Amino acid sequence: MDQQPTAPEQEPQNPYTRPGFLASAGIIALIIALIPVLILTGGGDEPTGDEASVTEGSSQQAPAPAVSSSAGQEAGTQSSCPALKDTTTDTASIADLAPIGLSWKKFGPINLPASKDAGPAVVDGGVARCYAHTPRGALLALTNISIRSSNGPDWRDVVDQQVYPDEAQEVFEQGVAASRADQTSDFPSSTPTLAGYKLISYTPDTAVIDLAFDTPGGTVLTMVLTARWHEGDWKQQMSPNGGQSESVVKRFNANGYSPFPAG
């Protein structure tokens, strides 16, 4: 590579550097904050050796067998979601997003994916909900919730409605509030873009997906995120320490990840 990462300056009192808090402030701010503490790795290989030591304990699961039965969008107690056309639960379907009519929608300065067939079917302020009960629906849910849960004026509504309600939800909300305390805007001044994705495992109850982001510095940050099917919609489940992810890796590129198609 033409450029090698330089040693970052220490920033005392930075909430992102507190033990157990890395990744808890959301994808956008996390990318900016974690770059100093992540080593740069090559290609799209899985972390091994020294690379594995800088992740916060991998939450990756062994891939589950493909679910072959078709299942329609179920009505939820919270959402009253409309039926969606994407009912393909075969895990191989996630490799091709073209059939679901993928497009890109602005969320502040950030472009987020949306689909008329897989969701979000309902957008109310910063809350974008109602995703297909499929691998592609889980992917779109995680790309939206992970960004919206820490950015924009309605981030608390997103946390309340779209973060899985367990012990980590409250810790995550407190972390985001702390990280936003010194911000002067609802959005960061420098934003990454979605570069690709990789399905780790899928069942009708839980989806684990590795997302890759192009950072403003020209490298790629990958994060393993989890979605849980709850009350008729996908919700993001935060890590036990209240973070977005326990597996965060900085790479040279997104080789090995399926790219998002242009909308």
Phi first, then psi, for residue 196 (nearest 5°) are 180, -175
Encoding tokens for residue 184? 């002067």
| Residue-level pLDDT at 263 | 58
| Residue-level pLDDT at 238 | 97
d(CA 148, CA 152): 7
Encoding tokens for residue 213? 């982001």
d(CA 153, CA 203): 33
d(CA 130, CA 82): 8
| Residue-level pLDDT at 44 | 44
| Residue-level pLDDT at 214 | 93
| Residue-level pLDDT at 29 | 53
| Residue-level pLDDT at 184 | 87
pLDDT < 70 positions in the chain: 1-79, 263
Q: Please identify which residue in the block is written with the tokens 């004026």.
A: 153
For the CA atoms of 43, 48, 53, 55, the dihedral, rounded to the nearest 10 degrees, stands at 50
| Residue-level pLDDT at 183 | 85
- pLDDT tens-digit map of 10-67: 433 333 333 333 333 444 454 433 333 343 444 444 443 333 323 333 333 434 433 3
Per DSSP bridges, beta strands 102-107 and 40-41 are unpaired
Full-model pTM: 0.76
If you write DSSP's letter for every residue of the chain in order, what string do you get?
Answer: ----PPPPPP-TT-GGGSTT-TTTT-HHHHHHHHGGGS-EE-TTPPP-THHHHTSS-----PPPPP--S--PPPP-TTT-PPP-S-----GGGGG--GGGTEEEEEETTEEEEEETTTB--EEETTEEE---SSHHHHHHHHHHHHHHTTSSTTHHHHHHHHB--SHHHHHHHHHHHHHHTT-SSSS-SS--EEEEEEEEEE-SSEEEEEEEEE-TTS-EEEEEEEEEEETTEEEEEPPTTSSS-S-EEEES--TTSEEPPP-
Q: Please identify which residue in the block is written with the tokens 């994060």.
A: 223
Encoding tokens for residue 150? 């820490």
10 Å Cβ neighbour count for 152?
Answer: 19
Domain limits, the chain: 15-57+70-259
